[in-house]
């Protein structure tokens, strides 16, 4: 029996959609999205590329499935809880995704949530606003605004925090130089909480 036949039999017995998704995400976090390919994924899984196509149509479907896998992790509190607390709970989980998967997060940030899992996420957030006695138009606007805030914050954190450009003279701008001392990872927690609190307080002021 050839090695190829052995690998094919092994892949049919052990390969699954869940394993493909988790391995692909792991590779993207290790090597970056630019280096990811189905050929490398097949090598990592120790299978033929055609075995992957049995479960996934193409690379784009793998990325789609990773998005669903990540957002399906987001949980919701009881609708009896305070609306602001419910939204903060969701927002913090979104931020956690950006921190744990910085290489994939930029893909997630611009990916349309056009699957049942994505629709469920958006609908669940809209329900929080609706249950807070907000009009559908307001809820729709606030969903988008909250999304913009979380994407912007997530991308900022995903790209990391780098030391200042030593070759660039900033002493001509003393105020900016002082302000930059607070642009650190240590400050980011307070910045996130402050911005989110201001945003949600303004959104829910009609309650």
**Over residues 167-196, mean pLDDT:** 88
Question: pLDDT-based confidence at 162, cuts 50/70/90?
Answer: low
C-alpha span between 3 and 199 (Å, rounded): 59
**What six digits make up the tokens of 179?**
């302000």
Q: Where in the chain is the domain with CATH 1.10.10.60?
A: 17-56
Helices (H) and strands (E) in the chain, counts: 11, 0
Question: pLDDT-based confidence at 9, cuts 50/70/90?
Answer: very low
Q: Which CATH architecture has domain 17-56?
A: Orthogonal Bundle (1.10)
Question: pLDDT-based confidence at 2, cuts 50/70/90?
Answer: low
**Over residues 150-164, mean pLDDT:** 81
C-alpha span between 206 and 198 (Å, rounded): 14
Q: Where in the chain is the domain with CATH 1.10.357.10?
A: 76-205
- The answer to whether the beta carbons of residues 206 and 133 sit under 8 Å apart is yes
**Over residues 130-146, mean pLDDT:** 97
- The answer to whether the beta carbons of residues 51 and 15 sit under 8 Å apart is yes
Main-chain phi, psi angles of 108, to 5 degrees: -60, -40
Tens of pLDDT, residues 88-106: 999 999 999 999 999 999 9
3-state helix, strand, coil in the chain (%, to 5): 70, 0, 30
Mean pLDDT over each residue of the chain, to the nearest integer: 90
pLDDT at 87: 98
- The answer to whether the beta carbons of residues 44 and 22 sit under 8 Å apart is no
Query: What DSSP state is assigned to residue 23?
Result: H
* CATH (one of 3.10.20.30, 3.30.360.10, 1.10.357.10, 3.30.450.80) for 76-205: 1.10.357.10
**What six digits make up the tokens of 177?**
């130089």
pLDDT at 109: 95
C-alpha span between 61 and 181 (Å, rounded): 42
What is the residue whose two structure tokens read 């249950």? 131
Residues 6+ apart with CB under 8 A from 133: 206, 207
pLDDT at 81: 85
Q: What is the 3-state secondary structure (H, E, C) of 131-158?
A: HCCCCHHHHHHHHHHHHHHHHHHHHHHH
**Over residues 17-21, mean pLDDT:** 96
pTM of the shown model: 0.85
Q: Which of 8-12, 91-95, 132-136, 177-181 has the lowest mean pLDDT?
A: 8-12
By percentage, how much of the chain surpasses pLDDT 70? 88
Q: Map residue 66 onto helix, strand or coil.
A: helix
Q: Map residue 206 onto helix, strand or coil.
A: coil
Tens of pLDDT, residues 42-79: 999 999 888 999 999 999 999 999 999 999 999 999 88
pLDDT at 8: 52
């Amino acid at each position: 029996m050839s090695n190829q036949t052995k690998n094919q039999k092994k892949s049919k017995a052990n390969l699954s959609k869940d394993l493909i998704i988790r391995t692909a995400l792991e590779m993207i976090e290790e090597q970056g999205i630019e280096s990811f390919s189905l050929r490398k994924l097949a090598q990592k899984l120790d299978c033929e590329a055609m075995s992957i196509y049995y479960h996934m149509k193409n690379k784009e479907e793998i990325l789609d499935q990773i998005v669903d896998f990540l957002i399906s992790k987001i949980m919701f509190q009881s609708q009896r809880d305070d609306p602001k607390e419910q939204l903060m709970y969701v927002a913090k989980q979104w931020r956690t995704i950006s921190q744990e998967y910085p290489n994939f997060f930029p893909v997630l940030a611009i990916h349309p949530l056009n699957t049942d899992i994505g629709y469920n996420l958006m609908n669940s957030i809209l329900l929080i606003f609706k249950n807070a006695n907000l009009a559908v138009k307001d809820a729709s606007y606030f969903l988008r605004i909250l999304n913009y805030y979380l994407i912007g914050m997530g991308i900022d954190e995903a790209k990391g925090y780098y030391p200042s450009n030593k070759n660039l003279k900033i002493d001509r701008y003393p105020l900016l130089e002082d302000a930059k001392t607070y642009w650190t990872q240590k400050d980011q927690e307070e910045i996130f909480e402050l911005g989110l609190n201001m945003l949600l307080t303004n959104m829910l002021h009609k309650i």
